[in-house]
C-alpha cells in the first residue's frame, strides 16, 4: 500500500507547481468573491435610498439577482469548459469578473440596470467556483486527488476569513462599498496570470 501525506503534494516538482498555482487561483476566487458579493445588497440599497425607494426591498432584489446569475454560472462553466477548454474559459471568467465589478460599482446608478449587471456579475464572480470541481480532479494522480483538491479549495479560507474581521476598516479606508469592491477586484489579475501555468486537461483521462 502506498503511504500518502499532504507533504507529498510538495515532494514532486510537477505536483508542487500544480498545488501552488491552484492554491493561488482558488485564493483569487475566494478573496475576490468575498470582497465583491458582500457589498452588492447594501450598495444597491444605498442607491435605492438615494432615489427615495425602499432600501431593504431593493437589497433583497439585488441578492436574488446576484444569486440567480451565480446559479446559471455554476452550471454554465462546466459546459463551457467542456466545449472550449478549461484554460480559456477560466481565464475569461477571471477577466470578465474584474470588468463587471467595475461595471456594477462604478459605471451606473440606474437601479434596474444595476440588478441586471448584478446578475451577470454573479454569473462570473460566484459562478467561477465551478472551475475547481471541473479542473482540479484532472490535475492530481489518484492517490492524492482528494487531498490536492481539498488543499486548493480550503487552504485559501485560512486567509479569506480575515476579511469579515476587517470589513468596517476596509470600507472606511477605501471610502465606501464601491471603492472597496473595485480594490478587491484587482486580485483577478493574479488568477488570470496563474491559469496558463496549469495544463489544459479537456478530453484527457484522469492521471493514474
Quick: pLDDT tens for 151-207. 999 988 888 777 666 666 777 676 777 788 888 889 999 999 999 999 999 988 888
Task: Indicate whether 150 belongs to any domain.
Answer: yes
Task: Find the domain containing 100 and state its range.
Answer: 24-197
Task: Indicate whether 208 belongs to any domain.
Answer: no
Q: Quick check: helix, strand or coil at residue 26? A: helix
Q: What integer pLDDT is reported at residue 166 of this predicted model?
A: 67
Q: How far is 5 from 1, CA to CA, in rounded Å?
A: 13
Average pLDDT score, the chain: 88
Task: Indicate whether 66 belongs to any domain.
Answer: yes
Q: Would you say 188 and 131 are in contact if contact means Cβ atoms under 8 Å apart?
A: no
pLDDT surpasses 80 at 87: yes
pLDDT surpasses 60 at 81: yes
Count of domains forming the chain: 1
Distance set, CA 63 to CA 68, 118, 156 (Å): 8, 8, 24
Q: How far is 154 from 91, CA to CA, in rounded Å?
A: 21
Task: Indicate whether 109 belongs to any domain.
Answer: yes
**Cβ neighbours around 175 below 10 Å, total:** 10
Average pLDDT over residues 74-81: 95
Q: What integer pLDDT is reported at residue 161 of this predicted model?
A: 72
Q: How far is 67 from 21, CA to CA, in rounded Å?
A: 28
- CA–chain centroid gap for 167, Å, is 18
Q: What integer pLDDT is reported at residue 11 of this predicted model?
A: 84
pLDDT surpasses 70 at 5: no
Average pLDDT over residues 110-114: 91
* The three cell numbers locating residue 52: 427615495
- pTM as predicted: 0.89
What CATH number does the domain containing 153 carry? 1.20.1250.20
Task: Indicate whether 8 belongs to any domain.
Answer: no
163 Cβ neighbours under 8 A, 6+ residues apart: 31, 34, 35, 38, 170
Q: What integer pLDDT is reported at residue 74 of this predicted model?
A: 93
Task: Indicate whether 207 belongs to any domain.
Answer: no
pLDDT surpasses 90 at 109: no
Task: Indicate whether 125 belongs to any domain.
Answer: yes
Average pLDDT over residues 79-108: 94
Amino acid at each position: 500500500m502506498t503511504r500518502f501525506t499532504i507533504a507529498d503534494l510538495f515532494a514532486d516538482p510537477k505536483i508542487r507547481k500544480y498545488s501552488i498555482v491552484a492554491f493561488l487561483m482558488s485564493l483569487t476566487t475566494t478573496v475576490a468573491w468575498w470582497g465583491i458579493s458582500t457589498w452588492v445588497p447594501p450598495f444597491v440599497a444605498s442607491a435605492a435610498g438615494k432615489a427615495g425607494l425602499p432600501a431593504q426591498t431593493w437589497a433583497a432584489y439585488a441578492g436574488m439577482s446576484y444569486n440567480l446569475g451565480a446559479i446559471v454560472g455554476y452550471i454554465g462553466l462546466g459546459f463551457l469548459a467542456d466545449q472550449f477548454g478549461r484554460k480559456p474559459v477560466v481565464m475569461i471568467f477571471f477577466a470578465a469578473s474584474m470588468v463587471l465589478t467595475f461595471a456594477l460599482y462604478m459605471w451606473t446608478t440606474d437601479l434596474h440596470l444595476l440588478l441586471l449587471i448584478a446578475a451577470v456579475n454573479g454569473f462570473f464572480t460566484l459562478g467561477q467556483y465551478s472551475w475547481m470541481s471541473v479542473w482540479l480532479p484532472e490535475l492530481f494522480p489518484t492517490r492524492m486527488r482528494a487531498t490536492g483538491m481539498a488543499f486548493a479549495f480550503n487552504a485559501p479560507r485560512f486567509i479569506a476569513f480575515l476579511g469579515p474581521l476587517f470589513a468596517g476598516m476596509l470600507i472606511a479606508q477605501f471610502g465606501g462599498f464601491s471603492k472597496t469592491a473595485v480594490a478587491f477586484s484587482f486580485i483577478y489579475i493574479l488568477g488570470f496570470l496563474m491559469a496558463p501555468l496549469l495544463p489544459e486537461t479537456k478530453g484527457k483521462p484522469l492521471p493514474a
